Structure formats: structure tokens, C-alpha cells
Amino acid sequence: MKKSSFPRWVWYALAILVVIALPIIAGGSAYWKSILISIVLNIMLAMSLNLILGYTGQLHLGHSAFYGVGAYATTLLIQKAGLNFWVAMVMSSMLAGFIGILLAFFATRLRGHYLAIASLAFGVILYQVLINWDSMTSGPLGIYGISPPPPMHIFGNEIKFNNKVNLFYLISTVAIVVFIFLDNILRSPIGETLRAVREDEVSAASLGINTKLWKMFSFGIGAAIAGLAGSFYPGFVGTLVPDSFVVVESFTYLAMVIVGGMGTLLGPIIGAIVLTLLPEVLRGIGDARLLVYGISLTLVVLFMPGGILQGIKALKPKKASSTTTSIS
């Protein structure tokens, strides 16, 4: 594989510049600033699911449940236990990760569609808990009036997160840290181990790899990242209702991973951006947008089975060969 001619820190710096520029490009539109925040949250969810599905090969269909655990745990720890948001955020992420490890412990003996059904059942169970545990979650009525994260003081300046631009920068910073964390893990021997489990569990086990342990690892890290994203969701929208974490949402995150490019770092990011923006861009054509959205997804899966990222990479050799032919 040909490596990039630029060091990794250059790409990280470029990503930071893009993040800084996006709210400026959005101008004064509160609507598009909200869309930017939704994109970053979806990127975190897609990256976390990609660790489980793309790198470890576990078909997980209950990812929205971990998102919901992070959102509800953070809100309840703040409102009922009186904890600071930052402490609640860390604890909620750890709780989601612990639940992910528990799910993996009982489900890792399953494979393929059996694992998919088990994880789907987990998502359904958690949704029913959120709906029916009225004394804790307020049930279908939801929780309202949720405040954004408290202000931070940096170099003597108070940064308030009721400003959507500041909130976008905060969540984007967390997303970049998560990306760097995953990038370093997946380029280490840990990443090679996860890929070995994905390709052939029996062969991996014959080499002395504890496949169950590494499945639990990927579920735990993936769930913790999803819970971390969920911690920011209530403060962003101001309300919290169980319908935001219905099982159907898991299929949206799954589509982001597949459409962008499963088993790659950049693929889920591309998928999250495209599948968050596309419905908004098509909103002007009314209900027909759902038809166009569905057709677009079908075409991507049919003609780019490796995702959009694979399609982009496939264009490069063609350009090189066509240039060589014209020169000769």
C-alpha cells in the first residue's frame, strides 16, 4: 500500500482548519450550525460502530442503545445525582463501555445473523426500559429543559456552550481526539489482531489469539465512544425522548459505515457526512426526497460495494493509466 507523502500531523492540522472554517462558511444560519453538530455526532457514532463491524467483523444492530445510555446516564447523573457535566460525561461513557463488554461477553459465542439478532434484541430491550421506567426516564413524555455543557475558562476567557458554534467546536475537538485514538490503535498490533479476528476466527484462535477477549475489547471501546457522543446530545437539543434512540437509528449508523467504506478510518466519516447532509439537501423536493435518498443508497451499494472511499481510490489508478497511455 502506498503511503501518503505528507506526515499524519499535516492531515490532523488540515482537519482542524476545516473544523474552524465550517461555522464561518455556515454564516449566521442556526439551522446549518445545528446540522454541523449532527454531522459530528454521527461521525463519532459511525467511527465507533466501524470498530465493531468493520475491523472486528461483528454484525452489531443495537448501536443506538449505547448512544441512548450515554445520553440518559449523563442527564440523570446531572439532574438526580447533582454531578458536574464533565464528570457525568466520563461516567456515562464508562457505563456504556461496560454494558458493551457485558453484551459481548454473552453474545460473542454467536456469529453472523445470530449475533445481529442478539444485538438487535438488546436495542429493543433498552428502548423498552426507557419507555416504561417512568420514575427515572419520564417515559415517553421525555425530559425537557436540559442545559448545554457548563462554560469553560480558557486563558481567562469564558467559553459558553449555549452558543452553537462553541458547542460545535467542543464536540469536534472530542471527535478529533477519538479519531487520533482509533488511528493509533488500529495502526498498532491491536489493529492487526482485530483484523485477524475479522478475517477468520478459527485461524486467529489457532495462532493463540483470544478471539472472545478481543471482541469484548472492540465492543467496549465502540460502546464507550457511542456513549461519549450521547453525552453531548441532550445539551445540544435540550430535550431527551426515547424515540431518539429507537432501533431503526442503528440501521442509519450501519448505512453510514457501509456507504462510506467499512473497515477504513475515513470511510465512516464520509458516510456520516453524506447521509446526514443528503436528506437536508433534498428537503426542498418534499416526500420525494425519501425516494431519491433510497435510490442513491442502492446505487452506491451496487456499484461501489466497498463504499464511497473505495470508489474514490479506484479513480486514481485510472487517471494514472490514462495519462500514461496519452504520453505513449
Would you state the pLDDT for residue 220?
95
DSSP state of 4: P
How far is 26 from 34, CA to CA, in rounded Å?
10
Tell me the β-bridge partners of 153: 158
* Annotated domain spans of the chain: 8-247
How far is 66 from 125, CA to CA, in rounded Å?
12
**pLDDT tens, 268-289?**
999 999 999 988 888 777 667 7
How far is 179 from 167, CA to CA, in rounded Å?
18
SS3 157: strand
* Exposure letters 118-142 (e unless 16+ CB within 10 A, then b): bbbebbeebbebbeeeeeebeeeee
Mean pLDDT estimate for the chain: 88
Would you state the pLDDT for residue 224?
97
Please state, for a pLDDT cut of 70, what percent of the chain lies above it: 93
What pTM does this model have? 0.90
C-alpha angle with apex 26: 25 to 31, nearest 5 degrees? Answer: 175
pLDDT at 325 over 50: no
Nearest Cα to Cα of residue 49 among 30, 34, 62: 62
SS3 206: helix
DSSP state of 265: S
Would you state the pLDDT for residue 303?
80
* Banded model confidence at residue 39, pLDDT cuts 50, 70, 90: very high
**pLDDT tens, 288-318?**
777 777 887 888 878 887 888 888 877 775 5
The helix or strand, by DSSP H or E, that contains position 106, with its residue range, turns out to be helix 85-107
Q: Is the dihedral of CA 33, 38, 39, 41 positive or negative?
A: positive
pLDDT at 319 over 70: no
Query: Is pLDDT larger for residue 296 or for residue 63?
Result: 63
Would you state the pLDDT for residue 318?
54
How far is 218 from 57, CA to CA, in rounded Å?
10
Cβ 113 vs Cβ 59: under 8 Å: yes
Cβ 127 vs Cβ 249: under 8 Å: no
Query: Is pLDDT larger for residue 274 or for residue 11?
Result: 274
CB atoms within 10 A of CB 305: 11
Would you state the pLDDT for residue 70?
96
